[in-house]
Structure 1
């Protein structure tokens, strides 16, 4: 019997090794799998490469992971914002490597990994410093129909940590509004995908037309509680 429901965060995260590339869903603070990030901190893997839309906010979630010093490199689109002081301090001290990727390219590089695309040409970044590799060498470029393009490669993950709204024991997932963001493409781009959900739905009760991430792309799901707010409601993102 297929049952991808884990009893705990720690159980779901077991086996993540040092040096792993970890894809972490979320856009700003929407859809960030904070419980899985906290679990990864407890789990102890180090020398990680993290892929996310940004580089953490304040002192929690991804920022807390960076603060442990166990992230060697981050690949993201928006490394700096008003509350990115953890990343700022590490980067200025030379303690973390940054690969800056335009957001559309980031999404497409992840999608390409899941689709089995070996590489693709994109106009984004052509003629700018983003058309250079980290070692200072130039990326391959091509003129197609009179327009310049840069060759970009897929981003494959050893594990993806994502947040969904609901799932079933086969691992099928649905998301809540904008909290979906990078979750679906990251799930297809990783060898293992671990998702938190707020609700476990009985098998067969999810409309197949509404399933966003099929269970074939999901390794484990863990049920978490919603976080109560000071106003007495619940935090949904």
Structure 2
């Protein structure tokens, strides 16, 4: 935990499929899934979630007709806590990712960057050890990208392991401690961002020859 890892590659490389296998949406044909040394390959999604795994898909996962605070309370209410503790946690979570000012806003009115922040806040309700972010920088403006990058660093500082898959390569590598380039289900290159950026294989398969961090 406390490390940010990138999973990069062209469309169809197997990135989202890998995420699906990790969280238990689909079963691997071969190989096994380990979480902190424990084989969770046969565990259903809810068991993996209890063990600290959380997944944020690229598609919007907020309840559009609910307010921001109602979206977060919907997750808090699944926990075994009383009403006062729920309200305390809600206030804490809203403040943690600086969305207190959005508490009464309906989800359908949020910008792409604001929605991402709400989704990450909801993910934090269950105190995860690991968060998988699928295309967190897709469809948001440069200011929102920088905002999400700051949040990723905050997650890391809290000791949460983060795995990111995104086609915004520079933005992703700039927050990663290490990364993998995959294609057709195979790892082609792995290493620190500088190693990845200077890889001839990565340039040929994915980045293009003129790529630079």
* Both proteins in one fold, TM over 0.5: no
Instruction: Report the structure, 1 or 2, having the larger strand content.
Output: 1
TM-score between both structures, scaled by the size of structure 1: 0.29
Higher relative contact order (CA 8 A, sep 6+): 2
TM-score between both structures, scaled by the size of structure 2: 0.32
Instruction: Report the structure, 1 or 2, having the larger helix content.
Output: 2
